[in-house]
A and B are shown apart, each in its own frame.
Chain A
Amino acid sequence: MEYDNDAGAISARVLDAGEMNAHFLVDNFNLETANALRRVMLAEIPTIAIDIVEVLDNTTVLADEFIAHRLGLIPLSAKGVEELQYSRDCDCEGYCELCSVVLTLNARCNSDQIMHVHARDLVISAGRPNEEVGNPVLKDPERNGPCIVKLRKGQAIHMRCIAKKGIAKEHAKWAPSAAIGFEYDPNNKLKHLDYWYEADAQAEWPKDEAHANLDGDVADGEPFDYDAKPEKFFYNVETVGGLDPDQIVHQGIAVLQKKLAEIISVVQGDDNVDGFGGAQSPQMNGGYGNDAGYTTPYGNNTVWGGGGGGPAGGSTTPFGATPYGGGY
């Protein structure tokens, strides 16, 4: 993965890679970009997750919205998700084959045994861009995937789940990675961190020997370089299953590049690009009203009546005119 052996070029080195995680080191990097890459990998890589659930039948003990929430959090394979459109960019109304994958959950328990409904039981309807995207991720030895709900005799669940493309900025269910290990300067040469200690910081703080050795030891008597900047960054990317860890890194770089490119083109005044490129939350299209906490979960309708009406008019209130009328 080394592009250039020159001293100033960015280089990466894989320390450990597996099916679930990638542990690597990037050298000659800068903190701003390194963190930007971390943030992008956490929140801006498009993946796929169940976004709309149409409840056809639910006689389980769990409430509709509770199961819908569980379904949303089930990791689906995001391989080939780039062939899918964002639903908001699609010409269809609601959803279509171009912008969504439909999974159906249909189970009924007829035996006396308690029946477990797993992610495996999500059946994908035909008509998706490729054979990979939208598959439930099954990593356990029995290849069942997460348990969604348990059914007792006579209970049934039938739900149509529409999985859409999205990013974790909007909802955590689209996160390709739940947590990304990030570290620089394990030996604290830059003194960004002022260790708290009782007697001796060296003795009291645990040391990550592997990282510390890779970063180079502090030579005794070496003067403190207050201009020094962090250059080596340790990443540990762990996937939730939808994307391979290396894919997450590749995608992260790609998304970051795209974002930067768009900024450059906007700054340079290139007319070809619309100002809202890149990943964004579907809020721009409306549709999702309720978020973040600064809006109430009741939409913008205040308790006191007509949403959107607002205090227009002044003289009339939702309760009708004041007894004093519109001005004496």
Chain B
Amino acid sequence: MAPAATSTEWSTDFDTARRQRLFQSPPKDTTAYPMLAAAVDPHIESFNSIFARKGLLDEGIKDIGTKVFLDGDPYAQPEETGPRNRLHVRIREVFFDKAVLPATNKFALQNRNVFPAECRERHATYKGKYRARIDWRVNNGDWQEEVRDLGYVPIMLKSNRCHLENLTPDQLVKAKEETEELGGYFIVNGIEKLIRMLLVNRRNYPMAIKRGAFTNRGPGYTPYGIVIRCVRRDQTSQTNALHYLSDGNVNLRFSWRKAEYLVPAMMVLKALVETNDREIFEGVVGAAGSPGLGEKQFVTDRVELLLRTYRVYGIHSKAKTRAYLGEKFKVILQVPEDMTDEDAGTEFLRRIVLPHLGSYDVTESQNNDKFRMLLFMVRKLYALVEGECAVDNPDAVQHQEVLLGGHLYGMILKERLDEWLNSLRLPLMEWGRKNDWPAFTSPQFQRDFLPKIMKRTNENIGQAMEYFLSTGNLVSPTGLDLQQTAGFCVVAEKINFYRFISHFRMVHRGAFFAQLKTTTVRKLLPESWGFLCPVHTPDGSPCGLLNHFAHKCKIATESVDVSAIPGLVAQLGVQSRSSASLDASVVVQLDGRVLGFCSPKQAKIVGDTLRYWKVEGTHGVPLELEVGYIPNSNGGQYPGLYMFSQSARMYRPVKYLPLDRLDYVGPFEQPFMSIACTNPEIVSGDSTHVEYDPTNLLSILANMTPFSDHNQSPRNMYQCQMGKQSMGTPGTALRYRTDNKTYRLQTGQTPVVRPPLHNEYGLDNFPNGTNAVVAVISYTGYDMDDAMILNKSSHERGFGHGTIYKTKICDLEEGTRKSRSARLVSKLFGFPPGGLVRAAWREKLDDDGLPRIGTALQAGDIIAAWHTVSYDPASNEYVNRDLQTQFFKYKEDELAFVEEVRIIGSEDGTSPCQKISIKLRVPRSPVIGDKFSSRHGQKGVCSQKWPAIDMPFSESGIQPDVIINPHAFPSRMTIGMFVESLAGKAGALHGIPQDSTPFRFDEQNTATDFFGHQLMKAGYNYYGNEPMYSGITGQEFAADIYLGVVYYQRLRHMVNDKYQVRTTGPVNQLTGQPIKGRKKGGGIRVGEMERDALLAHGTAFLLQDRLMNCSDYMKAPICRACGSFLSTQPTVSEFDRKKKGNTMVRCRRCAKLAEGSESTSEIWMDGQGVRYTGGDDVAVVAVPGVLKYLDVELASMGVRLKFNVSP
């Protein structure tokens, strides 16, 4: 019988034995922590959707379609060339392989797979071969096909192109990964990068916007507009906007290849379908004879005007309108020159106008959908202008969705393919020009097309993708409808596991918003409830822009099947005719497609029915469907029933009360629903849903703050930051990682006080701190001002001991151009054969010239030996000729041990080792000045390590590990820390873990009471106080001391990385002032404010010392007569040039040429041997060096400084 399946149920228990078993024999079926794996699902699944069957790229290829190129001289007169041949090129399919060794490597025979761990260790990129099968034909000939290599594209880990997909924890360990390897990121040059999620406007929903900038479009433009972000099936988007002009006209605005265009909306309407003015009028205003038409004077007036002004164009039929549009947009659409204007107009409508309703093979009914949607948008625009509806807030999560990493990646891949085909144009021209314009039908073309013309295009899409991932910069001719071009990718830092996991739940509002002066975009809005964590955002510049998802929030990565919806909606009484008044009929939409209209009452019934069915799972209504019913209101959001089924939506689980079943709720529908927070808050007849748990609104990290409901909220934000900066356990597969810098806490523990989620997310695999006995007492004064005292004995027993791992790469080819050939290798590692090897070298290095594992290194020690070689073709060997050994040196100032040495060969295995990577271990036991914090935003710096005998102690002899000052609490109000202390103490005494989930206690049933009674049971004071004695005198303190157990984190900010000291040191060449920078041994600037403080204190000597003596103090000769620094010069002795000292300084300006009659003692000579007399009134003064520099600068502009020198 197969072993029992791995249990994924977790409680708040320590479960030590169970975790031990999971570690010793990792599960062979599934992970024990499915919640953790689910946290990164949006990344992986969005990537998977690119290459899935009928995935984004397949759709994208259809959207790219067939490119047509014409032969012949484009500048020749048409009559000269005759009809031109057409070359059709299209992409049939693309292939994306898993990562394998290149074919040039002849050494690995059995397993040619390249695993991610290898790429990390080798500082390489985890990438797979990317190929495309292209079809091409000339005119109507047969299609010919060819597979082209498009380079190597980076692969997302655990995606459907990764070797790690679907591996069990057991297999993952064998692949040198964590048992809980999450994937979702890329490995580029050994660095883990991920594409950060981005908040963008909700797709396919026309948003009412009022923005002052709209008036800049031209005269007549008003701030009113309707913006819709249309998303094609390949996830690329095209924003369409309607602008209201002050005369009542409506123009459609769109961007195409980063340029903006404006078209009258009427023209687009007329081009879409064969229509008439009446149809348009009724479509915007409402059917003739429908209720409320009389009150619609505002709209009728404007529609009339709309129709009237359009008449000036004099274009009537659909075909003519399309031809008109086609003529205008033919060039920018890059359609072939011989395409008719009408076809070009059709192409325009296909690609640009509401492409979410059909972007390839557009049918008549899809054009009709576009027509109806455009009418609806015009209608909403007029309602907005009239004041019938309010603007939609684009900063609210209600109108937002998530741009997923995989989708963005797919968009770029598609665009690259498109550009690649487009780029054929130039080589084709080039080829034609050089060969005197042969026809495409000629055999020469048949022969040259692939090897000569195709080859000239930039086929290396893989390199472009690698560039995108490693820099985060988007190089795109279209801009991909995004507002930023940089900052898409971030490094998935593994400082500790909290930080790592947070990267995958992180969502950014966009770099554009970071520059905005207003703070409105950063506001925490109630709509975000349950989707974005209100706590987990950094403070400082990215505050409110960089958010994190609530831990239960999911992101849809594929569209659900909604084919049944239009039929159901029709059955429920939705019809195509609308009334003029919103009270009589509101719109029903599905993914930006108008399904029809019905009365508001009926819309609510439709919405409720669909919801019931979707939870029930009947009638083909999918559970993930978002049914947003917006009720009629007095000038509120534009009413209607809007349904969304596509990907990139956020949704979250809540309980649907009528069926007592799981329902998913999206941000669009949530503001108009009644979701009770807890069971007692359910209001009969109103509440339709209830939260499964109020903690669902917090992110993973925010949930880990114990009793966060007792804290002042900024403190919880601080903890979310500090949790990510603590020295913890970055992972368990540390041996197979070569991060630049990793921090590790040697003595990590599981917290006594933690929520059950701590176990569900498997965070005990990555301990992040230590339980410490904490006394809240002011003792010896060293705990003032957020300092904390450590117990020296605790420290000696290992409290907070940490290690830093650094990786140094010794590259022999560094700086040289990568020589492709193995014969050009000029350096090799090791001692030169036959050369002298000193005993001192062998202390650090082994026979092979590489460092020995475990060697201690100090600054300046050698870490690797190398020698020069040249290739000898006769013997096929590398020969050293000079017998000289050269070394790589350890340059840092800290003691380090060699942990691992990696020899990095080349991927094809043909050239000798040119690169090694050495992992160093730097022990960092806590020292005074290191930073610690509890989990409540209470950070402090260790100020003293008192010996145990001097520490205060309780009656049982317990001494605290940490002493903090009581003044840390009143202003910060971190009551949660008190509760944690209490709970930790009780937990430690009874040997039980304590559940610290927030919102579990209330006023009647307080946390202090619960834990107080536990303490009483253990024979301690109910309030957690204990009498304590001074360790120095042995006398009992007058006050009883709050003593408990708190989980402490050691933060990665350590004095050893920060301290700066300087007596004398390097100075700036030009000014003579000390340079800045810790690394260079520079000083710390005494700035204006410091200067002001010194001035205010009247400390003149100190001021002079700082600003002059310790800075650019210099003695400069000055001429007292003319007051100039610049005219003084040392004299040159006529007889003894070498004589030093006692050289006289004279003023050249005041001197006269010697006439020969002066006495020799008065004559002096300059460097040229010219003899002068006079100019001897020179004094040496102490001045700041920059003063002289200023003088020089001014002199260069013709300004002379004259100094009065006295006495």
Known: A55-B854, A304-B1062. Is A194-B1039 also a contact (CB below 8 A)?
yes
Known contacts A31-B1035, A42-B949, A196-B1023, A298 near B1065 by CB under 8 Å: no
Comparing A98-106, A171-179, A214-222, the segment that makes contact with chain B is: A171-179
Contact between B1067 and A322, CB atoms less than 8 A apart: yes
Determine which of B803, B1019, B1035, B1064 lies in contact with A206 in the assembled complex, contact meaning CB atoms within 8 Å.
B1019
- A308 part of interface (Cβ distance < 8 Å): no
Q: Which of A175, A193, A314 contacts B1036 (CB 8 A)?
A: A193
Q: Which of A79-87, A135-143, A266-274, A289-297 contacts B (4 or more CB under 8 A)?
A: A289-297
Are B927 and A192 interface neighbours, CB within 8 A? no
Chain A residues numbered 61-114 whose CB sits less than 8 Å from any CB in chain B: 63-66, 69, 73, 114
Contacts of A302 in B (CB 8 A): 1061
Q: Type the 1/0 row for A271-295, where 1 means its CB is closer than 8 Å to any CB of B.
A: 0000000000000000000001110
Taking CB atoms, residues of chain B closer than 8 Å to A73 are 797-798
Contact of A297 among B793, B895, B1069, B1115 (CB under 8 A): B895
Q: Nearest Cβ distance between residue A229 and chain B, in whole angstroms?
A: 11
User: Is B1021 in contact with A311, judged by CB distance below 8 angstroms?
Assistant: no
Which of B285-293, B571-579, B864-872, B1025-1033 is the contact stretch? B1025-1033
Nearest Cβ on chain A to B1180's Cβ, whole angstroms: 8
Which chain A residue lies CB-closest to B1063?
Answer: A311
- A168 touching B793 by the CB < 8 A rule? yes
Would you call A192 and B1038 a contact (CB within 8 A)? yes
Indicate whether B451 reaches chain A with its CB closer than 8 angstroms: no
Residue numbers in A under 8 Å from B1035 (CB-CB): 31, 35, 192
- Chain B: minimal CB distance from A33 (Å): 9
With A and B bound together, what is the CA distance between A140 and B927 in angstroms? Answer: 35
In the assembled complex, the CB of A191 is this many whole angstroms from the nearest CB of chain B, namely: 9
A55 to B929, CA, bound (A): 31
- Of the listed stretches B218-226, B400-408, B950-958, chain A binds B950-958
Across-interface contacts of B1039 in A (CB, < 8 A): 193-194, 196
Q: How far is the CB of B31 from chain A (nearest CB, A)?
A: 23
CA of A193 to CA of B1025, assembled, Å: 12
Interface contact A31-B1034, CB-CB below 8 Å: yes
Query: Does A223 have its Cβ within 8 Å of any Cβ on chain B?
Result: no
**B173 to chain A: closest CB distance in Å?**
13
Give which listed residue, A169, A183, A317, contacts B1065 with CB less than 8 A: A317
| Across-interface contacts of A297 in B (CB, < 8 A) | 894-895, 925, 927, 1056
Q: Which residues of A contact B1056 (CB under 8 A)?
A: 296-297
Partner of A32, one of B947, B949, B1034, B1061: B1034
Assess the B1016–A206 pair: CB atoms within 8 A: yes
| B1185 nearest in chain A by CB position | A324
Contact B1036 A179 (CB under 8 A): no
Bound Cα distance A298, B1016 (Å): 48
Quick check: is B1022 within 8 A (CB to CB) of the other chain? Answer: yes
Shortest beta-carbon distance, B253 to chain A, in Å?
Answer: 60
> In the complex, what residues of A have CB within 8 A of residue B1146's CB?
none
CB of B657 within 8 Å of the partner chain: no
- Bound-complex Cα distance A185 to B1037 (A): 12
- Residues in chain A near residue B945, CB distance under 8 A: 292-293
Are A206 and B1027 touching (Cβ within 8 A)?
Answer: no
Instruction: Report B828 CB to chain A, min CB distance, Å.
Output: 28
Query: Are B1029 and A182 in contact, CB atoms less than 8 angstroms apart?
Result: yes
Residues from 162 to 211 in A contacting B, C-beta threshold 8 Å = 168-169, 171-173, 175, 179-185, 192-196, 198, 204-206, 208
Interface SS of chain B: loop
* Closest B residue by C-beta to A61: B735
Which residue in chain B gives the minimum CB-CB distance to A195?
B1040
Say if the beta carbon of A327 comes within 8 Å of chain B: yes
Min CB distance, B36 to chain A, in Å? 24
- Find out whether the CB atom of B793 lies under 8 angstroms from the CB atom of A172: yes
Give the CA-CA distance A192 to B1020 in the complex, in Å: 19
Check if B798 sits within 8 Å of A39, measured CB to CB.
Answer: no
Q: A314's closest neighbor in chain B, by CB? A: B1064
Contact B1033 A63 (CB under 8 A): no
- Measured between beta carbons, the chain A residues less than 8 angstroms from B793 are 168, 172, 175
A317 to B929, CA, bound (A): 27
Q: Smallest CB-CB separation from B1039: which chain A residue?
A: A194
Which B residues lie within 8 Å of A196 (CB)? Answer: 1023, 1025, 1039-1040
Whether a CB of chain B sits under 8 angstroms from the CB of A34 is yes
- Since A168-B948, A184-B1036 are in contact, a sample of 14 more A-B pairs with Cβ atoms closer than 8 Å, ordered by chain A residue number, is A34-B1034, A35-B1029, A35-B1034, A36-B1034, A69-B798, A182-B955, A193-B1040, A195-B1040, A196-B1040, A208-B955, A236-B957, A298-B894, A317-B1064, A328-B1180
| A-B residue pairs in contact (CB < 8 Å), sample of 29 | A32-B1033, A32-B1034, A35-B1033, A38-B949, A39-B1031, A63-B803, A63-B897, A64-B854, A65-B923, A169-B949, A172-B793, A179-B953, A179-B959, A184-B1036, A193-B1036, A193-B1037, A196-B1025, A198-B1023, A205-B1021, A292-B792, A293-B928, A293-B929, A297-B925, A304-B1065, A311-B1064, A317-B1064, A317-B1066, A324-B1072, A324-B1114
Question: Which A residues are within 8 Å of any B CB, using their own CB?
Answer: 31-32, 34-36, 38-39, 42-43, 55, 58, 63-66, 69, 73, 114, 168-169, 171-173, 175, 179-185, 192-196, 198, 204-206, 208, 236, 238, 292-294, 296-298, 302-304, 311, 314, 317-319, 322-324, 327-328
